[in-house]
Amino acid sequence: MANSSLVSYTKLSPNHSGKRNHAIDTITIHCVVGQCSVETLGSIFAPESRQASCNYGIGYDGRIGMYVEEKNRSWCTSSASNDHRAVTIEVASDMTSPYAVNDKAFAALIDLVTDICKRNKIKKLVWSTNKSDRVNHKNGCNLTVHRDYANKSCPGDYLYERHDEIVAEVNKRLGVKTTTSTPEPFKPYLVKVTASALNIRRGAGTNYNVAGVIRNKGVYTIVAEKAGQGSKKGWGKLKSGAGWISLDFCEKR
Ligand SMILES: [Zn+2]
């Protein structure tokens, strides 16, 4: 198992459990609570007395450090089961809520998360704002946060609220096809409607019966029963009360 080639500084911490007992399928993003460098993070996690670590850290300048190799379980999220399966990332942040991270660190985070996904065959990131979804990995959820496992605000509201943005950008880079909801095609049932079953309403409330409906390549032309209505945009509505639908109608011919 390789580590990220985006790492520019390595200071391995003694604070880890050795090999993971679960394949990497999750990412957990933390805030450092301090705008520190990768070197400072290295010295924080160096003493055994600290009893804490992370796989990767991102400094305020966007540089990326490694403190526990990816193959090993870091001591980061107050949960053995989470840290056995998650790559943990500490990101330099402000010291007070919402623990904002700067743009360079955020950009590096997107790069690093994308790289972790690619190398570990995580095809798509899935986030949920529901804790139960996260900790139970429901619906493919593969991002967890420290606050799920300990009475902490980590990763801070700044990063927490940007998980949607992180997911969208990383998935774009992973080539995940976004399922944009294509609007239902214009329903052809209107063609079958007899003129008397359809009203045309223009402006505030006057109904106009129509003489016919002409369909041409999905465009519906409503011919008004009364002369003199002119060629106008209108709204068609079934007399049964079914939904409004945009229509064009023109003068009786
Ligand atoms: Zn944390």
> Domain spans of the chain?
9-174, 189-250
Q: What's the 175 CA to ligand 1 centre distance in angstroms?
A: 29
Residue 77 has pLDDT above 70, yes or no: yes
Q: What's the 71 CA to ligand 1 centre distance in angstroms?
A: 20
User: pLDDT value at position 158?
Assistant: 97
Q: What's the 120 CA to ligand 1 centre distance in angstroms?
A: 22
Q: What's the 231 CA to ligand 1 centre distance in angstroms?
A: 65
Comparing 195 with 100, which gets the higher pLDDT?
Answer: 100
Nearby residues of 7 by Cβ (< 8 Å), 6 or more positions away: 56, 64, 65, 66
Lowest-pLDDT range, 19-33, 100-114, 161-175, 225-239? 225-239
Report, as an integer, the average pLDDT of 233-249: 45
User: pLDDT value at position 182?
Assistant: 59
Q: What's the 100 CA to ligand 1 centre distance in angstroms?
A: 14
User: pLDDT value at position 250?
Assistant: 36
d(CA 42, CA 65) in angstroms, rounded, equals 8
Comparing 22 with 186, which gets the higher pLDDT?
Answer: 22
User: pLDDT value at position 178?
Assistant: 73
- Structure token pair of residue 51: 């009893």
Q: What's the 33 CA to ligand 1 centre distance in angstroms?
A: 9
**Residue count (the chain):** 253
- CA-angle at 27, arms to 17 and 166, nearest 5°: 155
**% of the chain residues with pLDDT over 90:** 69
Give me the torsion for CA of 221, 226, 230, 231, rounded to 10°: -10
Q: What's the 124 CA to ligand 1 centre distance in angstroms?
A: 23
Q: Would you give the DSSP letter of residue 3?
A: P
Mean pLDDT of the chain: 81
User: pLDDT value at position 183?
Assistant: 53
Summarised one tens digit per residue, pLDDT across range 103-154 is 999 999 999 999 999 999 999 999 999 999 999 999 999 999 999 999 999 9
User: pLDDT value at position 181?
Assistant: 60
d(CA 139, CA 236) in angstroms, rounded, equals 41
User: pLDDT value at position 80?
Assistant: 97
Identify residue 250 by its one-letter amino acid code.
C
Q: What's the 96 CA to ligand 1 centre distance in angstroms?
A: 14
Q: What is the DSSP string of 160-223?
A: HTTHHHHHHHHHHHHTPPP---PPPPPPTHHHHS-GGGEEEEETTTEEEEEEEEEEETTEEEEE
User: pLDDT value at position 129?
Assistant: 96
Q: What's the 82 CA to ligand 1 centre distance in angstroms?
A: 12
Residue 102 has pLDDT above 70, yes or no: yes
Report, as an integer, the average pLDDT of 46-50: 96
Lowest-pLDDT range, 51-55, 74-78, 211-215, 230-234? 230-234
Q: What's the 56 CA to ligand 1 centre distance in angstroms?
A: 12
Give me the torsion for CA of 185, 186, 188, 190, rounded to 10°: 160
What's the number of CA atoms in the CB half-sphere (13 Å) around residue 139?
9
User: pLDDT value at position 177?
Assistant: 85
Start-to-end CA span in the chain (Å):
76
Report, as an integer, the average pLDDT of 17-41: 97
Q: What architecture (CATH level 2) is domain 9-174? A: 3-Layer(aba) Sandwich (3.40)
Surrounding residues of ion ligand 1, Cβ less than 5 A? 30, 146, 154
Please state the pTM of the whole predicted model: 0.72
Summarised one tens digit per residue, pLDDT across range 156-200 is 999 999 999 999 999 999 999 876 665 543 332 233 333 444 444
Report, as an integer, the average pLDDT of 79-97: 97
